[in-house]
């Protein structure tokens, strides 16, 4: 039996009536304005988490007392240290690991603590849309260092970035690594150039590496802070196992902060936001996943890679006017519909009429219009059905 069969990613599991934002929330119906949609939008997967995680959570639930959760145990911290060592050859220390209820909350605390209202925070659009939302909600200004697309490949506009970093109002740079939605796994030279420029201009780096475990064969994720002590001292890594093991609803993440002053400030901001006491299930799930479920992760990556091939073959066979940016990481794929010459909202409307919910490119900011992000973290049957619906949506363009 190969690993994929062992884990059976092909099983379609009904998620209706499970309070899933992706499948049955009021938000889904209101935002997309449609019913009976097949949802391949928000970034969680339609796979069960690995069995050891489920077993550990069931055992904990059967205890039946769900009082306040203690701080991270020594065992838990050792597990996190071992994960980054094993998978990335990166040594981190116990003190550096700080709980937060999520990567997005952690980013917001960082904006609040390390910048002032009216300051600029640089992001690389088209990018994960809650970054811009959090920046503006906190009264800061979004400065977009738009990625450049040439021959179906995204790169960084360093000339513009350098100018943006030199602006005294720029205080924070948000590195999305791997990048959601364009799927780039940044190379060492790119990361070094970013790190050097941020140091030179005294701009703090948030390294959002939440997708770092989901890397396609042939690519390698390099933790930003692992590149040099100077980079480590000038950055906060936000991480979590929630993408890797499909645990997003448990709301648990780790900020990894080698610099003591940054760490103390970050912790103080968590206290201000009353975000210091974890959910009892979150750390447990992550610990079991990191300790016992690496084989599940390898099988998952194989399945995602095959899903991407399926998507690519289907598109080139039946929908040749759409092109896809080949992902290097994540379970998301960025599809280019611009040949249809339809404005993003109209394209979205057509897709919804065909009963498929994707994340429309325009919500990812500059450079996103005319693209759609599809979540391929689902059984192949679901992906196939979505592709049939996409074909129906575009057939009269
Ligand atoms: C780049 C990125 N950062 C953060 C998050 C969400 O993190 P959390 O659920 O821990 O707030 C996502 C989810 O899709 C993401 O893609």
Query: CATH number, domain at 162?
Result: 3.40.640.10
Q: Based on the domain organization, do 129 and 247 belong to the same domain?
A: yes
Closest CA to 242 of 209, 280, 198, 206: 209
Rounded to whole angstroms, the Cα distance separating 260 from 254 reads 16
Dist. CA 157 → ligand 1 center (Å): 24
Instruction: Please count the structural domains in the chain.
Output: 2
The pLDDT value given to residue 25? 77
Angle at 246 between CA 277 and CA 17, to 5 degrees: 90
Distance (Å) from CA 341 to ligand 1 centroid: 30
The Å distance, Cα 90 to ligand 1 centre, comes to 22
What's the confidence (pLDDT) of residue 35?
79
Residue bearing the CA closest to ligand 1, atom 7? 103
Gap between the Cα atoms of 359 and 181, Å rounded: 10
With respect to residue 251, please indicate whether it lies within any of the assigned structural domains. yes
Query: What pLDDT score does 1 carry?
Result: 47
Q: Residue 59 falls within a domain, yes or no?
A: no
What are the tens digits of pLDDT across the range 243-256? 999 999 999 999 99
> What is the Cα–Cα distance from 107 to 110, expressed in whole angstroms?
5
pLDDT by residue for the chain (397 residues), tens only, comes to 455 557 889 999 999 999 999 998 777 778 877 778 999 999 999 999 999 999 999 999 999 999 999 999 999 999 999 999 999 999 999 999 999 999 999 999 999 999 999 999 999 999 999 999 999 999 999 999 999 999 999 999 999 999 999 999 999 999 999 999 999 999 999 999 999 999 999 999 999 999 999 999 999 999 999 999 999 999 999 999 999 999 999 999 999 999 999 999 999 999 999 999 999 999 999 999 999 999 999 999 999 999 999 999 999 999 999 999 999 999 999 999 999 999 999 999 999 999 999 999 999 999 999 999 999 999 999 999 999 999 999 987 7
Residue 58 included in any domain? no
Q: How far apart are the C-alpha atoms of 345 and 351, rounded to whole Å?
A: 10
CA distances in angstroms from 224 to 46, 227, 349, listed in the order given: 30, 6, 39
Helices (H), 319-361: 344-353
Whether 259 and 298 map to the same domain: the answer is: no
pLDDT at 2: 54
3-state secondary structure of 378: coil
Identify which of 103, 123, 181, 256 to mutate to test ligand 1's pocket (most ligand atoms within 8 A of the CB). Answer: 103
pTM: 0.96
Provide the pLDDT for residue 29. 79
In the reported structure, the alpha carbon of residue 104 is separated from the centroid of ligand 1 by a whole-number distance in angstroms of: 6
C-alpha 243 to ligand 1 mean position (Å)? 8
Q: Among 329, 328, 331, which residue's Cα sits nearest to residue 382?
A: 331
Do 190 and 336 belong together in one domain?
Answer: no
The distance in angstroms from the start CA to the end CA of the chain is 45
Position 397 scores a pLDDT of 79
The two structure tokens encoding residue 355: 């009963």
- Ligand 1 atom closest to the CA of 330, numbered from 1: 16
Residue 43 domain-assigned (yes or no): yes
Of 260, 292, 324, the one marking the end of a domain is 292
Alpha helices in 201-293 (DSSP H): 229-233, 260-272, 282-292
Helix, strand, coil fractions of the chain, as percent rounded to 5: 45, 15, 40
* 323 CA from centroid of ligand 1 (Å): 25
**Given the CA of residue 104, which atom of ligand 1 is nearest to it?**
11
Among protein residues, the one whose CA lies closest to atom 13 of ligand 1: 43
Residue 5: the pLDDT is 58
Residues 42 and 109 in one domain: no
Which of 261, 292, 323 is the C-terminal boundary of a domain?
Answer: 292
Domain with 359 in it: 3-51+294-394
| CA within 13 Å, CB half, 254 | 23
In-domain check, residue 83: yes
Query: Residue 18 has which token pair?
Result: 């499970």
Nearest ligand 1 atom to the CA of 240 is 10
Q: Is the dihedral of CA 219, 283, 289, 46 positive or negative?
A: negative
Domain boundary among 292, 316, 331: 292
Of 214, 1, 254, the closest CA to residue 106 belongs to 254
| Cβ < 6 A, ligand 1 pocket | 43, 102-104, 128, 176, 180, 208, 210, 240, 242, 248, 253
| d(CA 114, ligand 1 centre) in Å | 20
Measuring CA to CA, how many Å separate 196 from each of 30, 62, 193, 221, 224?
44, 51, 5, 19, 11
């Amino acid at each position: 039996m190969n690993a994929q069969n062992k884990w059976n990613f092909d099983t379609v599991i009904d998620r209706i009536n499970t309070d899933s934002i992706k499948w049955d929330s009021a938000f889904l119906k209101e935002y997309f304005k449609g019913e009976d949609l097949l949802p391949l939008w928000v970034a969680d997967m339609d796979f069960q988490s690995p069995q050891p995680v489920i077993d550990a959570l069931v055992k904990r639930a059967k205890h039946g007392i769900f009082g306040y959760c203690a701080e991270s145990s020594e065992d838990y911290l050792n597990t996190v240290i071992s994960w980054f060592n094993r998978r990335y050859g990166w040594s981190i220390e116990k003190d550096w690991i700080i709980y937060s209820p999520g990567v997005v909350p952690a980013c917001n605390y960082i904006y609040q603590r390390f910048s002032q209202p009216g300051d600029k925070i640089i992001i690389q659009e088209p990018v994960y849309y809650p970054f811009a939302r959090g920046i503006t909600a906190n009264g800061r200004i979004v400065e977009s260092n738009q990625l450049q697309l040439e021959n179906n490949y995204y790169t960084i506009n360093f000339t513009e970035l350098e100018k943006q970093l030199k602006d005294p109002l720029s205080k924070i740079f948000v590195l999305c690594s791997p990048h959601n939605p364009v799927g780039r796994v940044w190379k060492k030279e790119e990361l070094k150039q970013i790190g050097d420029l941020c140091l030179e201009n005294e701009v703090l780096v948030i390294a959002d590496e939440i997708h770092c475990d989901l890397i396609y064969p042939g690519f390698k994720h390099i933790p930003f802070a692992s590149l040099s002590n100077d980079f480590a001292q000038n950055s906060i890594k936000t991480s979590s196992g929630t993408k890797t093991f499909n645990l997003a609803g448990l709301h648990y993440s780790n900020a990894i902060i080698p610099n003591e002053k940054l760490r103390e400030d970050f912790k103080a901001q968590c206290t201000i936001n009353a975000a210091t006491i974890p959910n009892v299930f979150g750390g447990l799930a992550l610990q079991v996943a990191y300790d016992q479920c690496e084989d599940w992760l390898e099988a998952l990556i194989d399945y995602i890679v095959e899903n991407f091939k399926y998507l690519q073959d289907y598109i080139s066979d039946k929908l040749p006017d759409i092109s896809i940016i080949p992902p290097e990481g994540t379970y998301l794929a960025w599809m280019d519909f611009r040949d249809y010459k339809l404005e993003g909202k109209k394209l979205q409307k057509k897709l919804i009429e065909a009963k498929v919910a994707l994340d429309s490119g325009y919500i990812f900011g500059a450079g996103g219009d005319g693209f759609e992000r599809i979540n391929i973290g689902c059984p192949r049957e679901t992906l196939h059905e979505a592709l049939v619906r996409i074909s129906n949506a575009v057939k009269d363009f």
